[in-house]
Amino acid sequence: MSRPYQPSLLRLLHGITVLLVPLAWLTGLVVYSNNDGRFGRLPFRLAGDWIDLHGTVGVLLWPIALLFGLYALTAGRARLRQPANATTLLALALAVGSGKFMQEDWLRDGQVHHLAYSLHLGAWLLIAAVVLWHLATVLRRGGISLAASMLQLKVRSNDTPLQWPAQLIRGFRRYV
């Protein structure tokens, strides 16, 4: 079976997201373990300013998530008919959105009762579950060749960065 082709803008935004989400998730795990730990902690303590590190990953992730969301809702809309794709995007939006309402000092001061923090913790759990679901769905629908199509580097001559604005505008026009 020939490998499906994924649009280059999707591969770029999806690729950066796939690098940053696990980084955000893992640094978030360390922050939770070091500064909260109500439901259990890691068996070891990692020294360092993990809140700062997690915040930095978050600062990098949110504009990418915003662009990815814009892409997915316009040019990538047809793919959002897949429930696992749409739910993964929603979980990402919840994680990034609730993170924007967090304040760095809350966890340093032991304040774990804020609504934004509870939502952010919930989103952290949710994103782990839905990314696994998303990956399982991709593998079930198209096997390794569909998963690998998201990682390939080949770009068709009619899908270069010059065509990206037109792709987004075409996707947007389908709404109006």
Contacts with ligand HEM: how many residues (CB under 6 A)?
Answer: 23
CA angle 99, 34, 89 (to 5 degrees): 30
Site residues for ligand HEM, window 137-166 (CB under 6 A)?
A: 138, 146-147, 149-151
Q: Which stretch binds ligand HEM (CB under 6 A): 44-52, 81-89, 94-102, 106-114?
A: 81-89
Contacts of 53 (CB under 8 A, 6+ apart): 27
Interface residue with ligand HEM, options 21, 61, 64, 95 (CB under 6 A): 21
CA separation for the pair 155, 41 (Å, rounded):
45
Q: What HEC string does 11-53 produce?
A: HHHHHHHHHHHHHHHHHHHHHHHHHCCCCCCCCCCCCCCHHHH
How far is residue 131 CA from its own chain's centroid? 9
CA separation for the pair 89, 68 (Å, rounded):
9
The verdict on 53 binding ligand HEM (CB under 6 A) reads no
C-beta of 61 vs 107, nearer to ligand HEM: 61
DSSP assigned state of 176: -
Which residue number is nearest to ligand HEM in terms of Cβ? 76
C-beta of 6 vs 107, nearer to ligand HEM: 6
C-beta of 35 vs 163, nearer to ligand HEM: 163
**Residues at the interface with ligand HEM (CB under 6 A):** 10, 14, 17-18, 21, 72, 76, 79-80, 82, 85, 88-89, 92, 131, 134-135, 138, 146-147, 149-151
